[in-house]
Amino acid sequence: MFVEDDINIEKPVHLCFGMLPREGRQIINSEYHIGKNSKIDFIAHCSFPNAKHIEHIMDSKVYIDENAEMSYIETHYHSESGGTFVYPKLRGEIKKGGRLLEEFKLIKGRVGVLNIDYEIEQDEYSTCDLLTKIYGKEDDKIEVKESLHLNGGYASGTAKSRIVLIDEAFGNVLGEITGNAPYTRGHVDCHEIVQGDNAKAVSTPKISVENPLAIVTHEAAIGRINKKELETLMARGLTEDEAIDLIVRGLLR
């Protein structure tokens, strides 16, 4: 998709990817070129309601020119079988003053297997925000790798993830930011909630700077749902499972 220079597309562009059969493979190779001073928002819905063994492979390339803006909000709807295998890959380049917001979330059904691989190169004064929200159940497997390379002065970026794991689900998050130029600012923010004796969470913030004027920070937290929050909701008539579900949905909203 090519957007020419100085174009402001006011209404979001809706993209729909999905498969109704129980089995199959969907391969999507997409390229987005956003011209100078242009702005566009994408809303993507990916639906696999009957999946027993569905592979969804997304290979995307994004080029955002000077002072251009793009947002891409991707929402997934899966079956409850756990038979969905999702592999989103993104390679991006943001030029001077450009902005990118990339959000991935699953709001219905089981994850199945998810392997996110995002990597963005940023020039001066550019901004990138990556956000992932996932609820893993049963034996779901979640791998998230988000990398930002702040190559130009005053570039900034965040890699933020919110992962909830119950039953025997597994989550592994790698948030990476490198500050390679003066006055760059980066932040890795990973929170994983583990609610179940057999669920497992791994979080690895990887930050580095190659300029004395760059600042890159991180915060990571792994743990159970706050007991006091649970007790407060249960005192209002909710069961423990209902209270957990309410807290989780609030976190992932």
For residue 46, the tally of other CB atoms under 10 A from its CB is 23
Mean pLDDT, rounded, for 168-179 = 97
Task: Quote the pLDDT of residue 173.
Answer: 97
d(CA 172, CA 161): 11
Within 13 A of 232's CA, how many CA atoms are on the CB side?
Answer: 7
Residue 79: predicted pLDDT: 95
Q: Report the pLDDT averaged over residues 204-224.
A: 94
Reply yes or no on whether the pLDDT at 251 is more than 80: no
Residue 101 pLDDT > 80, yes or no?
yes
Segment of 94-98, 194-198, 221-225, 233-237 carrying the highest mean pLDDT: 94-98
For residue 52, pLDDT over 80 is answered with: yes
Q: Nearest CA to 161 among 171, 169, 151?
A: 171
- Boundaries of every domain in the chain: 2-226
- Name the pLDDT band for 242 (thresholds 50, 70, 90): confident
Q: Is 45 exposed, middle or buried (0-12, 13-18, 19+ CB in 10 A)?
A: middle
What was the pLDDT predicted at 223? 84
For residue 73, pLDDT beyond 90: yes
Query: Is the distance from CB of 174 to CB of 145 less than 8 angstroms?
Result: yes
C-beta of residue 56 within 8 angstroms of C-beta of residue 46? yes
3-state secondary structure the chain: CEECCCCECCCCEEEEEECCCCEEEEEEEEEEEECCCCEEEEEEEEEECCCCEEEEEEEEEEEECCCCEEEEEEEEEECCCCCEEEEEEEEEEECCCCEEEEEEEEEECCCCEEEEEEEEEECCCCEEEEEEEEEECCCCEEEEEEEEEECCCCCEEEEEEEEEEECCCEEEEEEEEEECCCCCEEEEEEEEEEECCCCEEEEEEEEEECCCCCEEEEEEEEECCCHHHHHHHHHCCCCHHHHHHHHHHHHHC
State residue 244's pLDDT score: 81
Mean pLDDT of the chain: 95
Q: What are phi and psi of 142, to 5 degrees?
A: -125, 125
pLDDT tier for residue 221 given thresholds of 50, 70 and 90: confident
